Amino acid sequence: QPALTQPRSVSGSPGQSVTISCTGTSSDVGGYNYVSWYQQHPGKAPKLMIYDVYKRPSGVPDRFLGSKSGNTASLTISGLQADDEAYYYCSSHGGTYTFGLLFGGGTKLTVL
């Protein structure tokens, strides 16, 4: 059972915006600004899209926006494109006790 809760699926039409939520607790998502998001196309390795809640690595379009409120982090993708269709996973620092990482169950984004 994944430690972080994500919706199983979201969908949107090209050009629209979608938001994927990631809910944890005050011990992980809510306690640290160490939330990251990964995009995974079928059969491929995950790709870092957002780190430290809202920061984008070089090369990631500014259509991808990360945010956090309390124990819930969110990834908003605007101007949906066909290639955005993929699974998205959130991750968070698991706390100083474990020093491990927690993942969400993944959200399948379908571009209609």
Partner 1 sequence: QVTLRESGPALVTPTQTLTLTCTFSGFSLSTSGMSVTWIRQPPGKALEWVARIDWDDDKYYSTSLRARLTISKDTSKNQVVLAMTNMDPVDTGTYYCARIDSNYFYMDVWGKGTTVTVSS
Binding site for partner 1 (CB under 8 A): 2, 32, 34, 36, 38, 44-48, 51-52, 57, 89, 91-94, 98-106
Q: How far is the CB of 14 from partner 1 (least distance, A)?
A: 27
64 or 89: whose CB is closer to partner 1?
89
- In whole angstroms, how close is the CB of 13 to partner 1 at the nearest point? 26
- Provide the residue type at 37 as one letter: W
Pick between residue 13 and residue 68 the one whose CB is nearest to partner 1.
Answer: 68
Minimum gap (Å) between residue 96 Cβ and partner 1:
11
Residues 26 and 43 sit within 8 Å (Cβ to Cβ) = no
Nearer to partner 1, 17 or 66 (CB): 66
Q: Using the structure block, give the residue that is written with the tokens 């269709």.
A: 85
Q: How far is CA 62 from CA 11, 55, 80, 90, 92, in A?
A: 19, 10, 12, 18, 21
Q: Which is closer to partner 1, CB of 12 or CB of 38?
A: 38
- Going from the C-alpha of 59 to that of each of 13, 48, 88, the distances in angstroms are 23, 10, 17
